Chain A
């Protein structure tokens, strides 16, 4: 047994080593897209670069939604050995740019006309001091509800149009003996629901004031108390067993017909598709009731770290160009469940939910109702984001009531700034 292992690995590793030697025309990519679908989506980019004779050195580090990769990155940068491109979210890009570590992509951006096709709300993260430093790959949005159509049909429930209808619908499901809302009790999942609830209470204006400008008055307002009240309402529709559950097991509850709804970002679609479900027939996707027209987003981007060698710079530029090509944007996002980061990509390859998401993104971008997700680090820096997590989670788990939560939110946000 061991001999078998040894020989096979030796050969495989030798092959790996021979292709893994860094050359100037290689790009080294640190990312956390390691699950089957995501990784094969990224492979599209790799293959594309290979045709341009640019080698790909893979550096995957999964865990904690990129937390492990960010720790690795810090070790690599400290050791003076930064990768070429790093998958990054929101404010992390700005923080690394502020440290002076990122490359300037303005030449490529100008040639390709990125300014015209990327939503301005995204550019806020991809640019630092007016210069492009990162290439956005996708846009996820978080204010989605995923519903089991069979349950709704059986109970004769229509897709709820506003918050009150949503609550009434969930009550009906609960009365029927099924779980109304599938939820996994992890801070980030609670915060993901929080995104949608905040929008449902006060729309983008309140959202911006409270969570982007961090206005203490808005944070402690009656509207915020109402937000926490609604979180309490959601809590009452969750089964007893929610704590610690992975989000995909919550999705499985909806897929298997044990629960009617899940509030989760669009990556949940992958679970439904993987289980052989068809959008519109087996499951429904719609915005959190009361947030139609608003989109809370997060965007995966490749931040480009400054290179000294001109050949490495050229390879990096090519990579940025390839990421932003409509072909890759479409191919990648069809698999990933998200939508392209540029708004001019044809939607032919996308399914019904994907087409809807693309249309809504373009619309929200045009109307100025596209806001960064609180839960996924596109509204605030890490310290504030986690402070918000603390309060949302503590409230959701019954540590204190809505009024106290609003007050604690003001304090926690202030302390974290």
Chain B
């Protein structure tokens, strides 16, 4: 993949600037609509904006108020719990299903769309379905009781300490199939000769996967991480549809916090401050990844 400085010698004057010209609309749009808006948000976080943007600066007051709000701490802690479990479980399930599906399975053509379809649905309504399934009174717990397993208990969604884990379950449901597809693609891209050679050397299936296959899937792991991380940070519909942030405020995430302060509590300044902190966190996590990823290509 050492193709970086290709074609340099063959460029003529015109060829020199056409590629940059082609790239420039995207770049311009990005500078205005992403980085310009981020700058605007940073500015807002230093103002006393309430319902609409205001231009009166108040220094760091919004940040001070933000970190004094217990609900913000709850949201931040929840994001760490949610994001790490979500990314981990999706990766494990996705990898497992991909490896299993890769064993010449009959009916793969039926199973694959079944695993993938949740990604196609918006949470506006599957959230309601999940809410019912997880509800002890009408969902799984109730069904188990009706089938005779009366000691069965599954009331996490009603439990302040456990509710965030039900959010993880629903989120995993939505994206783990997609992660499976990414790993499956990675597996199908591995040259069988490598595996055969290892088998001749007498490696067991388990060590075959652990020693050879999984390391070869590294690019798939990285892509899955980017996609899962961005979905975790942006999770909003999920919370609104499933728990509405409850019980109490136990399942607020920074995205719902930010929306609620900016738009429903008319505290745009605090909302902007929370957005800035979120973006800084994302940047802190993503920059090393991007750096490593891009450096490798040189």
Chain A residues within CB distance 8 Å of chain B = 64, 67, 70-71, 74, 77-78, 95-96, 99, 185-187, 239-245, 381-383, 386, 390, 393-394, 396-399, 415-416
Chain B residues within CB distance 8 Å of chain A = 50-52, 65, 68-69, 71, 131, 135-137, 155, 157-158, 160, 240, 243-250, 260, 263-267
Q: Do B246 and A187 touch (CB < 8 A)?
A: yes
Chain A residues with CB under 8 Å of B68's CB are 415
Distance between Cα atoms of A95 and B245 in the complex (Å): 26
What 5 pairs between A and B have smallest CB-CB spacing?
A241-B137, A397-B248, A243-B158, A243-B247, A71-B263
Main secondary structure of the interface of B (DSSP, over half): loop
Q: How far is the CB of A256 from chain B (nearest CB, A)?
A: 13
Chain B residues with CB under 8 Å of A77's CB are 52
Residue of A nearest to B243 (CB): A244
Q: Do A186 and B248 touch (CB < 8 A)?
A: no
Assuming the A-B contacts A381-B266, A382-B265, are A99 and B52 also in contact, with contact meaning beta carbons closer than 8 angstroms in the complex? yes
Contact sample, A vs B, 10 pairs, CB 8 Å cutoff: A64-B240, A70-B263, A99-B51, A187-B246, A244-B157, A383-B267, A390-B249, A393-B248, A393-B249, A397-B160
Q: Do A386 and B135 touch (CB < 8 A)?
A: no
Chain A residues with CB under 8 Å of B249's CB are 187, 390, 393-394
Additional A-B contact list (16), CB under 8 Å, known A64-B240, A383-B266, A394-B249? A74-B52, A77-B52, A95-B266, A96-B51, A187-B244, A240-B136, A241-B135, A241-B136, A243-B246, A244-B157, A244-B244, A382-B264, A382-B265, A383-B267, A415-B65, A415-B68
Q: Do B160 and A78 touch (CB < 8 A)?
A: no
Chain A residues with CB under 8 Å of B136's CB are 240-241
Q: How far is the CB of B111 from chain A (nearest CB, A)?
A: 24
Assuming the A-B contacts A186-B246, A399-B248, A415-B68, are A74 and B265 also in contact, with contact meaning beta carbons closer than 8 angstroms in the complex? no
Q: Do A74 and B264 touch (CB < 8 A)?
A: no
Chain B residues with CB under 8 Å of A96's CB are 51
Q: Do A397 and B265 touch (CB < 8 A)?
A: no
Of A95, A399, A416, which one neighbours B160 at CB under 8 angstroms?
A399
Chain A residues with CB under 8 Å of B264's CB are 64, 67, 70-71, 382, 386
Residue of B nearest to A241 (CB): B137
Chain A residues with CB under 8 Å of B155's CB are 240-241
Assuming the A-B contacts A243-B157, A394-B249, are A95 and B51 also in contact, with contact meaning beta carbons closer than 8 angstroms in the complex? yes
Q: Do A244 and B263 touch (CB < 8 A)?
A: no
Q: How far is the CB of A32 from chain B (nearest CB, A)?
A: 13
Q: How far is the CB of B144 from chain A (nearest CB, A)?
A: 15
Distance between Cα atoms of A243 and B160 in the complex (Å): 10
Q: Do A244 and B52 touch (CB < 8 A)?
A: no
Q: How far is the CB of A161 from chain B (nearest CB, A)?
A: 32
Chain A residues with CB under 8 Å of B137's CB are 239, 241
Q: How far is the CB of A377 from chain B (nearest CB, A)?
A: 10
Chain B residues with CB under 8 Å of A386's CB are 260, 264-265
Q: Do B247 and A397 touch (CB < 8 A)?
A: yes
Chain B residues with CB under 8 Å of A398's CB are 160
Q: Do B265 and A244 touch (CB < 8 A)?
A: no
Chain A residues with CB under 8 Å of B69's CB are 415
